[in-house]
Amino acid sequence: MDNGESSTNDSSRPWESYNTVFTNAKAGMEGVDKEKVQRIVYEMSKGSKYFQNEERKEALMKQKIEHMRERSTKLSSTDLSNYQKVVDRRILELEATRDLSRIWLHVDMDAFYAAVETLSNPSLEGKPMAVGGLSMISTANYEARKFGVRAAMPGFIARKLCPELIFVPVDFTKYTHYSELTRKVFRNYDPHFIAGSLDEAYLDITVVCRERGLSGGEIAEELRSSVYSETGLTCSAGVAANRLLAKVCSDINKPNGQFILQNDRSTVMTFISSLPIRKWIKIGGIGKVTEHILKDALGIKTCEDMVQKGSLLYALFSQSSADFFLSVGLGLGGTDSPEARSRKSISSERTFSATGDEKLLYSKLAEIAEMLSDDMKKEGLKARTLTLKLKTATFEIKSRAVSLQRYTCSSEDILKHATKLLKAELPVSVRLIGLRMSQFSDEIRNSDPSQETITKFIIQKDSSRQNLDDNDYDGSKNCISNDESLGLSFDTHETSYDQLKDVEYEEQSEIDADKVIPNQEFKKEERPRVSEGDALLIKHKECRPDTSHSTNDAPNTEAVTVFPQMEPLLWIDGYKCNLCGIELPPSFVEERQEHSDFHLAQRLQNEESCSSSSTTPTSKRRILGKEKANSKLKKQKQDHKHIPIHTFFTKTNQNSFSYLKLIFQKRNQEEMKMVLNLISPKLNLSPFNTLGEPKPIPSMSDILTSSRTRNLDLKIQTLGPFFRVTGKNIDTGGEVGRAEGVVRPWFGKGLVLHLDTIKLTKETMKMEKSVLGVGLYVGAVAIRHGYDCGCRTAQLLAIYDSDLYHSKLVRFYRRIGFEEVKEVSGSSIGDMADMLVWGGVGTRMDASIHHLLLKWSKVFLKSKI
DNA sequence: GCGGATCAC
DNA sequence: TATGGTGATCCGC
């Protein structure tokens, strides 16, 4: 859709604009011919789906940058000087938190996985080697890095860069074992060290240094040699006043080296502001995108700039982001000793070769649910939010989440809900499926057990959202952990807001306070949670909603006993009701609402007729509680024992056809024929032939189902009267054709389906040679859409381009069932209407929609048998 | 709460 | 031929 953006490349050196991360500064990359690496990476990637997605992401990033730039230019100098006041005060506050009394050490193992592999297979020594496979490598040793090979690079590109590269498969048990050995050493220096990952850690060595009268550098030397003697592995270390600086330092003399930054303010400031851009990029939290935004939109290239342009940062970013940038600029961050953080989610995901085959996808999903469930059981975790992650064949990431009523870790529960989530996305061609569970049951564990129950109650109760917010335990927790994750040890929020208000009052500034108010303020007041919780509990008991026919909750036992047959209403393929099979286009929002009301009414009828005694008043109230939006229904329910189904179908516009079909399916044919004539005598949309039999025209589902057997994924979007049908190759995700147009009244013909374009792309069509096939399918969806909208006629203009092309076009349309109506040449007054509508000359061709559907029905109904 | 993005390792 | 898996966070809605 958004291509054509890459044409800005310098044509002689297109690779220069392909921003891979592979040429960033990384230890061991100093002597690398970066241009060559970049060129090869570009050439290996160019044209691939992955590459296209990178281009798409890049375009988005540019947009973001442009937006940021625009916003920055709109800032007035008064704005900026006001924000500068905030910055000035903030700097003072941040300075006050500067703690130079601690000594932090960051250890980072050198090419950890590769080094471990070399240890267990010494013949690898001195040879370029990478841990991983042809699709992805995890780590490269230093010999390989000389060729530009590095972590996160696909193996096949690495091999191109270094043909003799040796690949070694990953073996996490090995790495975990060696990691544990290193950690034993770390514990001797700081029993509470923070493990960043298997191969790195932060140690607060203040105490060791003091007790043993050694400098940070001496301790680092000792630790590193101790690690070496225990494991045979080398590591690098950085020593500084805080974790952020220590981490930067450990990178400086990599591999097998160390760097010590004195705990002295001016040394720190000189160091940080002299840091070349390539170094501070790697400061945690600033990645590729943020870097570009800072640099390209705001001209911030160094840490010094961050302080100097602080007013810009505070004007354009959230408070917490701006605070983070500013503290980086001041060389602050991470002097506290945070408590060990507990995990907040657990997940499992797998990549495979892209497929749109539903059976296959469901079985992958089951495998992943199983893995996830196993992991959760191993960790003793139960959770209530399930997130499905998909990576499409075109590398786009999608996620879909549901929050369940109960905490669970069972693979059955997970799979059941995951399947629903996946089902709603089909058809889709994906290359990765992932499942994640979050919101653990013990996340809200509290010292007071009575409070825990109340909290659980609040959390479980969906409709108490407002109250939940007011008692948002997680919210306050997030605030704290944010600061931890940023390595900041100060509380930023309220003070700054007060300051800003001061500024506003003092200066009569025009700053929009909303922009600067932190998203999450600390709630410092005591929360009256027990009494509120009690009130909630009562409220909850009173009107706990029955949500069992929404798509995303766990079964409610009570509801199940009342309505054992109750299933959630879903629109299969986005079109077809799973309960009765009626089809309603997605754009028929109101109609769909009424349709679901219909099913509800049915249930109510069943309830009344089959077991009025077994139905408790409570359960009735529940149903109505959920459906209270429909006051019509409520009234019916209260006034009558039985609800006549036709009450729900009072509309008399052309859309009523859908209802009629429904009624036809549910009720006596004769009766319905009468209703049909009553409601819609003009339109010949009867689904019956003269014999009173349903006409065999393909339904939207028939068309979609049939198209899928041809590897086509068809979608229709509507915007008011406009519509667009797109057809994609299920496997590649590439677009193969589209139709666009509008449903409009036409002189004396009622509504017509006006087809603006039917476009077919040949290149991406690896499926059938037959253009006619794709055209037919795309066209059929459009035509069926017209049918659903009550159109009788479809019309199009075979545009006159050249003789040859035009006659081909006319022949094509004739083959699929259109007939020439007239030549629109602009030579007669009568052509004016057509000219105005079509904006060109050509052959106007019409077709009877019903006729087309009948004519095509064999094609689409074939697959049904 | 949800979904998209970003980030780190 | 071919571009990972796990976990966290933030922002906007």
Give the structural domain span for A390: 345-442
User: Is residue A572 one of the residues assigned to a domain?
Assistant: no
Indicate if CB(A63) is under 7 A from strand B: no
Indicate if CB(A360) is under 7 A from strand B: no
More confident residue, A455 or A82: A82
Final residue in a domain of this structure, among A442, A474, A502: A442
pLDDT value for A104: 98
Is residue A691 predicted with pLDDT exceeding 60?
no
Indicate if CB(A397) is under 7 A from strand B: yes
Indicate if CB(A64) is under 7 A from strand B: yes
Confidence of residue A29 (pLDDT cuts 50, 70, 90): low
Mean pLDDT of the A528-539 span = 27
CA atom of A521 to C1′ atom of C13, Å: 19
The Cα-based distances of A72 to A85, A97, A293, A510 in angstroms read 17, 30, 12, 15
CA atom of A652 to C1′ atom of B5, Å: 46
CA atom of A599 to C1′ atom of B4, Å: 35
Phi, psi (deg, nearest 5) at residue A750: 70, -140
Tell me the nt nearest to A395, Cα to C1'. Answer: C3
More confident residue, A451 or A24: A24
User: Is residue A58 one of the residues assigned to a domain?
Assistant: yes
CA atom of A216 to C1′ atom of C6, Å: 33
Residues within a 7 A CB radius of strand C:
A 41, 44-45, 48-51, 134-136, 138, 151-154, 156-157, 317-318, 320-321, 341-351, 375, 431-432, 434, 436, 438, 478, 481-482, 485-486, 519
pLDDT value for A131: 98
A819 is catalytic: no
Convert the pLDDT of each residue in A222-246 to its tens digit. Answer: 999 999 999 999 999 999 999 999 9
Final residue in a domain of this structure, among A73, A99, A122: A73
| CATH number of the CATH domain containing A842 | 3.40.630.30
Convert the pLDDT of each residue in A267-306 to its tens digit. Answer: 999 888 877 666 655 788 899 999 999 999 999 988 889 9
**A200, A583, A594, A627: which is the annotated catalytic residue?**
A200
Mean pLDDT of the A800-829 span = 75
- Cross-strand bridge partners of residue A741: A723, A755
Confidence of residue A313 (pLDDT cuts 50, 70, 90): very high
Task: Quote the CA–CA distance of A147 and A493 in Å, as a whole number.
Answer: 48
pLDDT value for A862: 57
pLDDT value for A864: 41
Tell me the nt nearest to A389, Cα to C1'. Answer: B3
Q: Supply A697's token pair.
A: 């025209």
Other CB atoms within a 10 A radius of the CB of residue A134 amount to: 12
pLDDT value for A836: 62
Confidence of residue A487 (pLDDT cuts 50, 70, 90): very low
Q: In what order do the strands lie in the sheet with A750-760?
A: A712-719, A722-729, A735-746, A750-760, A793-799, A842-848, A819-824
Mean pLDDT of the A644-659 span = 29
CA atom of A803 to C1′ atom of C6, Å: 60
Compute the mean pLDDT over every residue in chain A, rounded to the nearest whole number: 73
For chain A, percent of residues with pLDDT exceeding 90:
44
CA atom of A569 to C1′ atom of B4, Å: 27
User: Is residue A26 one of the residues assigned to a domain?
Assistant: yes
For chain A, percent of residues with pLDDT exceeding 70:
64
Of A127-141, A441-455, A607-621, A733-747, the least confident: A607-621
CA atom of A88 to C1′ atom of C8, Å: 31
Indicate if CB(A443) is under 7 A from strand B: no
| Helix (H/G/I), strand (E/B), else coil: A19 | coil
User: Is residue A54 one of the residues assigned to a domain?
Assistant: yes
CA nearest to nucleotide C4 C1': residue: A136
Q: What is the secondary structure of A293-325 as a DSSP string?
A: IIIIIH---SHHHHHHTHHHHHHHS-HHHHHHH
Residue A99, classified by CB atoms within 10 Å of its CB into exposed (0-12), middle (13-18) or buried (19+), is middle
User: Is residue A465 one of the residues assigned to a domain?
Assistant: no
Mean pLDDT of the A360-374 span = 97
User: Is residue A14 one of the residues assigned to a domain?
Assistant: yes
Counted domains in chain A: 3
Taking alpha carbons only, the member of A324, A312, A262 closest to residue A287 is A324
Contact A92, A86 (CB under 8 A): no
What's the angle, vertex CA A466, arms to CA A462 and CA A471, rounded to 5? 95
CA atom of A290 to C1′ atom of B6, Å: 8
pLDDT value for A813: 80
Most confident option among A255-264, A629-638, A804-813? A255-264
Indicate if CB(A34) is under 7 A from strand B: no
In a 13 Å sphere around the CA of A394, the CA atoms on its Cβ side amount to 16
Q: Which nucleotides of B are covered by protein (CB under 7 A)?
A: 1-9
How far does chain A reach from its first CA to its final CA, in angstroms? 36
Final residue in a domain of this structure, among A392, A410, A442: A442
CA nearest to nucleotide C8 C1': residue: A344
Going A487 to A488 to A494 to A497, the CA torsion angle's sign is: negative
Mean pLDDT of the A61-74 span = 93
CA nearest to nucleotide C12 C1': residue: A519
Going A39 to A42 to A43 to A44, the CA torsion angle's sign is: positive
pLDDT value for A852: 86
Is residue A262 predicted with pLDDT exceeding 60?
yes
CA nearest to nucleotide C5 C1': residue: A349
List of A residues 277-296 with CB within 7 A of strand B: 282-291
pLDDT value for A344: 96
Q: Which nucleotides of C are covered by protein (CB under 7 A)?
A: 1-12
User: Is residue A826 one of the residues assigned to a domain?
Assistant: yes
CA nearest to nucleotide B1 C1': residue: A403
User: Is residue A101 one of the residues assigned to a domain?
Assistant: no
Taking alpha carbons only, the member of A771, A770, A782, A769 closest to residue A714 is A782
